[in-house]
Structure 1
Amino acid sequence: MGFSKLHPKILGGLKKCEFNEPTPIQAACIPRILEGQDVAGLAQTGTGKTAAFLLPLMDRVLRSVEQTSLQESGTSPSREELSDKDLEKRIFPHWKTKNFILILEPTRELAHQVYENFKKLGQDTGLEAVVIYGGTSYDNQKALLEKGVPFVIATPGRLIDLYKEHFVDLSQVRAVVFDEADRMFDMGFKEDMKFLLKRIPKERQLLLFSATLNFDVLQIAYEFGSNPVEIDVSRDQAKAEHVEDSLFHLGKEEKPQVLLSLIHKFLPRQAIVFSNFKHNVERIVRFLNSNGVPAVGISSLLNQAQRNRVMSRFREGNDRNILVATDVAARGLDIQGVDMVVNYELPDDPENYVHRIGRTGRAGKKGRAFSLVCDDDIGALHRIEDYLGNKIPVDWIDDEDLITDFQPFPSAPEFRPSQRLQKKDVRPRRGHRKRKSTTSSSRKTSGASRKKGSSQRSRRGSSRSSSPSERSVHRDRRLGRHQSRQENSAARTKKTHQRSSKRKASSSQRFKHRVRPQNSSVQKVSVKTGVGEKISRFFKKLFE
């Protein structure tokens, strides 16, 4: 099925976007989604999966709104190419103004890009959408939700927050899409997905799109779906068709030189350099900028406002046409003009390799992908080639294309201990001090020597006495005490003896000693008057 069976208002937007023929994932998904079936589809980034669920859902909403308005007005529907049976399958029954389609994305970047695609594809439809994600103001989002929009594109965290504040009514959801479902599981959104699905009506359409149909994805599909249709695009089709990928075997120290040489050789209009480590992103950006190549970097170290500024500068392409990124942006970038991708390090996950090179070669254009492979990347290379089912071609750079005059690669930042560890007056734990074997003179303390930052303040290297009594005197003087530690200890001992002697005196008044006739052992008997007399009379009678 092509695009011809879609709503006429959608076809106008497709022509403006130059969408002529559907991709394999679009051709497989669009008919089933139009019929209202639940779908679990495998689709890599760059294969057109966003349009695969946006186009049929927009078609269903448009026809549902039209059918509802016709029923309310009482006019008869106009005859078109669809039969009554096909039209009944396509529409959402009893569509209301507050009903909406929910599209969930794992990251803010993906949510924003789906929103941009929605505006392009639905520019002639009159449909509205609201994008909801963290790092932005609540006010505009709440206003649109109260007004009612047919499409809500959101990240799980912010959507749940709005639901708990009663700004989102999940009972109005007619279809839910989990885009990049496998990444949602990787990011720990499994419980959030179940939380939302349990509060969405069971009579809704469920669509899951994932890079891999793993156990977690299929479990959600079959637990909450209604006989979902599994659509598995083969790996050859999932990999971008117009991308030529190759690799370079080299040493780790040669990577910066080869990277710079590739950029100067092919002169890309826009290129993305992927690294596995966020601290490497900053170093690569500094290296490229120092050698006259304008570059910007994006990683998890940036907040949302900084990411937006970086991406806007890169998309404009006026002053920064090289983007250095980690895998946090691998599935979150949708830029049509990227014509070269460089893997500075190979990813550990083979699927991320396909996601990375899928950033180029879009919209039928050719793209190049280069991988810089050193000894540390050999294990990842074997996994990637096993996943793809073929060997990645090996390439090399001619000597005349190799740049020799360049600024060196920045060294890794040195470890700097915290400010607390750098304090000079930190005292060691008690019992771990090393006592000096030789006796030295006691430390002289004066008002001038106790200034902040003075050498007398430092414990290390100070001339301390090895005598405990002398050290205690210095300590008592420093703390403002009038007596030494030994004097205080003697006073406490004296008081203790006084208390114990008082106790003995009082106890001697309360008890007396009496010798039994049988033995010479001493027995303490109470001196209470009544009891003592009775006991004495008892013993007198006993021995008479």
Structure 2
Amino acid sequence: MQFTDLKLNKPILKAVSEKNYTEPTAIQKKAIPLILEKKDVIASAQTGTGKTAAFALPILQLLFDKQDSGKKGKKIRALIVSPTRELALQIQENFNTYGKYTNLKSSVVYGGTSIEPQIETLSKGVDVLIATPGRLLDLHKQECVRLNQVETLVLDEADLMLDMGFIDDVKKINRLCPKTKQVLLFSATMPAKIDELALDVLKDPAIVKITKGSSTASGVNQKLYYVHKPKKIELCLHLLRNTIKGDILIFRRTKFGVEKLEKSLQKNGYKVDSIHGDKTQAAREDALNKFKSKEVNILIATDVASRGIDIQNLDAVINFDIPNIAETYIHRIGRTGRAGNTGNAFSFCSRDEKVYITGIQKLIKKDIPVEKEHPYPIEKDSPNMFFRKDNKNKKNRKSANSKKNKKRWY
């Protein structure tokens, strides 16, 4: 199948052709015809499979057919709700790319920046609005956005919205839109609460499922390193010097961890920047742009960025900290090996993270290959790997000095 077989109009096909896309991905082949038929759709596919184009192209087509109707200014006719600012910006970039030869206007709104420029843009009218839940509801509360003309509502990365606590906001947004709207729900995984949400907001949906269970991208070579936690930075530096080259995305669990690693790598002469929740939106965009323009080749991020970054030809992902949610591992390493390319994922596991690896391997239904040839190994079967040596004092017993110095209240 070619894009020309999907009944898309010439302006959209021209924009697609300029991106050198000729054959749609599996999710696009199945979802686009259903969306063009105005059906509600639940689509499940792993990251990097072309989900954004799977809803952007047919939405542009549906809006294009009626774009000249009405002379009272543009109304929001398509609403895409996204969990993160980075992902929202990426979606808008797609709409701008594919809609460049139409008269359709898209805009994006998100928190962390001044609301006034967003209000001004909305006042001029837009056809497609991409929004994070909190900022959208703020704008609605101030009566700066009206959703009563929405024809298509997209809930993108629904499982991430669940993880981030946005589900109640999403339900409220759904109620603010007309009951007659078309609803499209896209999610990398389908936990029980997402099934419940789908039953609540979709009407007789068509189901498109590309992945077979939870699996990692086939183009990603995975390696697992067992290492003592204090030696992770040394291992990271060793691999950067000898093994890992190119554009690298490193994930840490906390903002403090991101900043600590960033300083260590900078001291060792590496070109590095970072993204985390304490940075302003301008600083986050600046870091991402530096990475995309090759000004820096290492980007360190918390999981807030794990699904919002779409960088072509990313060479490697490093899980400096193992994620405590198994699905997050899939999303992280899905940043590399995209669109038919190959990539590498390196995971550093300390003794207290072993339980997370067990959960990840159970989810992906295979063992991650262990790399033992490195300077800071912990033998996988070592009795000291996951447990500290017994303290000389027995459990629940105080030492003699402790008893001697303890102050009694009686």
Residue in 2 that maps onto 1:341: 317
Write the deviation string for residues 191-212 of structure 1: whole angstroms up to 9, x where unpaired.
2112121121111100111122
Which of 123, 130, 150 is the equivalent residue of 2:127?
150
Indicate if the aligned counterparts of 2:329 and 2:360 stay in contact, CA closer than 8 A: yes
Q: Tell me the equivalent position of 2:208.
A: 231
Please name the residue that 1:364 is paired with: 340
| Cα deviation 1:40-92 (Å, max 9, x = unaligned) | 121222221111111111111112336x49xx9xxxxxxxxxxxxxxxxxxxx
Whole-angstrom CA distance in 1 between matches of 2:214 and 2:323: 21
Match of 1:180 in 2: 157
Q: Which amino acid aligns with 2:75?
A: K
Q: Is the contact made by 2:325 and 2:356 (CA closer than 8 Å) also made in structure 1?
A: yes
1:326 aligns with 2:302: yes
Distance in 1 separating the partners of 2:215 and 2:180: 31
The answer (yes or no) to whether the contact 2:67–2:103 under 8 Å persists in 1 is no
Report SS of the residue matched to 2:246. Answer: coil
Counterpart in 2 of 1:24? 26
Give the Cα separation in 1 of the matches to 2:293 and 2:87: 19
Partners of 2:35 and 2:58 within 8 A in 1: yes
Structure 2 residue runs of 5 or longer lacking an equivalent are 376-410
Deviation of 1:261 after TM superposition, in Å, equals 2.2
Tell me the TM-score normalized by structure 1: 0.65
Q: Is the CA contact 1:43–1:238 (under 8 Å) kept in the aligned structure 2?
A: no
Q: Which residue identity is paired with 2:3?
A: F
Residues 187 and 398 of structure 1, relative CA distance in 2, 3 Å threshold = closer
CA distance in 2, matches of 1:301, 1:230: 38
Q: Is 2:151 aligned against 1:167? A: no
Contact map agreement 1:24 1:237 (CA 8 A) in 2? no
Tell me how far 1:109 sits from its aligned partner: 1.3
Note the alpha carbon deviations across 1:246-286, whole angstroms, 9 max, x for none: 21223333322221122223453310111122221112112
Q: Equivalents in 1 of 2:195, 2:226: separation in Å?
A: 39
Determine the structure 1 residue equivalent to 2:357: 381
2:56 to 30, 54, 58: 54
342, 357, 370: which one pairs with 1:394? Answer: 370
In 1, the alpha carbon distance for the partners of 2:298 and 2:281 equals 20
2:43 and 2:186 in contact (8 A); partners too: yes
In structure 1, the residue corresponding to 2:95 is in which secondary structure?
helix
The two structures have a TM-score, normalised by structure 2, of: 0.85
Aligned residues of 1:40 and 1:218 also touching (Cα < 8 A): no
Letter in 1 for 2:43: G
Does the residue aligned with 1:192 lie in a helix, a strand or coil?
A: helix
Which region of structure 1 is more displaced relative to structure 2, 26-35 or 218-227? Answer: 218-227
Q: Cα distance, 1:186 vs. partner?
A: 2.2
Q: Secondary structure at the match of 1:171?
A: coil
Letter in 1 for 2:293: E
Which letter does structure 2 place at the counterpart of 1:130? S
Q: Are 1:119 and 2:121 counterparts?
A: no
1:434 equivalent in structure 2: none
Q: Match of 1:146, as an amino acid?
A: S
State the AA in 2 paired with 1:13.
A
Q: CA deviation at 1:332?
A: 1.8
Q: Which amino acid aligns with 2:314?
A: V
Q: 1:115 deviation in Å?
A: 0.9
User: In the TM superposition, what is the alpha-carbon distance from 1:396 to its structure 2 partner?
Assistant: 4.2
Deviation at 1:398, TM superposition (A): 6.3
Equivalent residues in 2 for 1:456-495 (5 A)?
Answer: none
Q: Report the CA distance between 1:137 and its aligned residue.
A: 3.2
C-alpha separation between the residues in 1 aligned to 2:370 and 2:163?
32
Superposition deviation, residue 220 in structure 1: 2.4
**Alpha-carbon contact 2:189-2:214 (below 8 Å) kept:** no
2:114 maps to which residue?
Answer: 137
Q: Which has the higher contact order (CA 8 A, sep 6+)?
A: 2
Confirm whether residue 189 of structure 1 aligns to residue 191 of structure 2. Answer: no
CA 1:229/1:398 → structure 2, altered by over 3 Å: closer, same or farther? Answer: same
Alignment partner, residue 3 of structure 2:
3
Of 42, 45, 48, the residue aligned with 2:44 is 42
Identity of aligned residues (%): 40
- Secondary structure at 1:231's aligned position in 2? strand
Shift of 1:362: 2.0
Q: What does 1:74-473 align with in structure 2 at a 5 Å threshold?
A: 97-235=74-212, 239-266=216-243, 268-318=245-295, 320-397=296-373
Q: Which has the larger radius of gyration?
A: 1
Q: Secondary structure at the match of 2:139?
A: helix
Q: What are the Cα deviations for residues 344-392 of structure 1, in whole angstroms up to 9, with x where unaligned?
A: 1211111111111111112322211111122222111111111011111
Superposed CA RMSD in Å reads: 2.2
Tell me how far apart the structure 1 counterparts of residues 147 and 300 of structure 2 sit (CA, whole Å).
39
Among 13, 37, 47, the alignment partner of 2:15 is 13
Q: Give CA-to-partner distance per residue, 1:468-520, whole Å, 9 cap, x none.
A: xxxxxxxxxxxxxxxxxxxxxxxxxxxxxxxxxxxxxxxxxxxxxxxxxxxxx
SS for the counterpart of 1:64 is coil
